[in-house]
Amino acid sequence: MRLQHATWQEVEAYLTRHTGIIVPIGSTEQHGPNGLVGTDAICPEAIAWALGERHDVLVAPTQNIGMAQHHLAFPGTLSLAPSTLIAVLRDTIVSLARHGFTHVFFLNGHGGNIATIKAAFAEVYTQRSLDGDDQPLNLSLYSWFSGQRGRELAASLYGDAEGNHATASEVALSWYAAGVEKSVAMSPRLAPKGSADCDADTFRRRFPDGRMGSDPSLAKVEHGKRFLETGVEDAWEAYRAFLAG
């Protein structure tokens, strides 16, 4: 069930049987010559919606903008400062806790979000650790691209050409989910490798077309369908493990 498509009374009823929720979180940032700016939001959203359809789990609306400062030298990238994203996640979590949700599972599509999401969890916990809040609150961060089934599939399809940003697997999944496809030649075929821990101009000098170590021209829409399936299985396993504590 998607929260956006539910009435409040349906949410009220849901909370009597389950107090967990999945929150897709992505980014709006360049993904190389043939990757979509929305890749990192589209991928976890597609997985989350499938989970919501197949299992009786509520899916919150997607946090479409993440922490993407290093991509700001490429047109179309939007970025929240870490301090802003922390505030957004804090407000989201305390809103959910207000209603009695006890397990909030962030289904993430962007590696650059991870540190800030963890810091946001600590910001929320800090208040509770000082105030001694009694209601249980469990927060989990899971990145779809870290799932074992998906990683194996990517390795089998692309080998080393999977890369680190604008990966072949995320391009494939986002194309499938969004119903779009872009045909762009890559030059060089494999993008340079390196660190993204830098500012935007430095990043663009290191990675001129935005890719990091990948050859996403290998991506195909039909691969995307398979990544959706592995993604759903991986994420559902992670969610159940989260509930199990």
Q: Which stretch binds a copy of itself (CB under 8 A): 49-57, 64-72, 143-151, 185-193?
A: 64-72
Q: Which of residues 111-150 bind a copy of itself (CB under 8 A)?
A: 112, 114-123, 125-126, 128-130, 132-133, 136-140
156 touches a copy of itself by CB under 8 A: no
Cβ distance to a copy of itself smaller for residue 82 or 149: 82
Phi, psi of 174 (to 5 degrees): -65, -40
Q: Which of residues 66-85 bind a copy of itself (CB under 8 A)?
A: 67, 69-70, 72-84
Cβ distance to a copy of itself smaller for residue 156 or 245: 245
Cα angle, residue 95 at apex, residues 90 and 98 outer, rounded to 5°:
125
Cβ distance to a copy of itself smaller for residue 153 or 173: 173
Q: Which of residues 21-50 bind a copy of itself (CB under 8 A)?
A: 28, 30-38, 41-42
Strands across the sheet containing 138-143 = 58-59, 20-25, 103-108, 138-143
What's the closest the beta carbon of residue 155 comes to a copy of itself, in angstroms?
25
Round to whole Å and give the CA distance between 141 and 180.
Answer: 28
Round to whole Å and give the CA distance between 26 and 112.
Answer: 10
Report the b/e string of 87-117 with b at 16+ CB within 10 A: ebbbebbeebbeeebbbbbbbbbbbbbbebb
Round to whole Å and give the CA distance between 216 and 36.
Answer: 11
214 touches a copy of itself by CB under 8 A: no
4 touches a copy of itself by CB under 8 A: yes
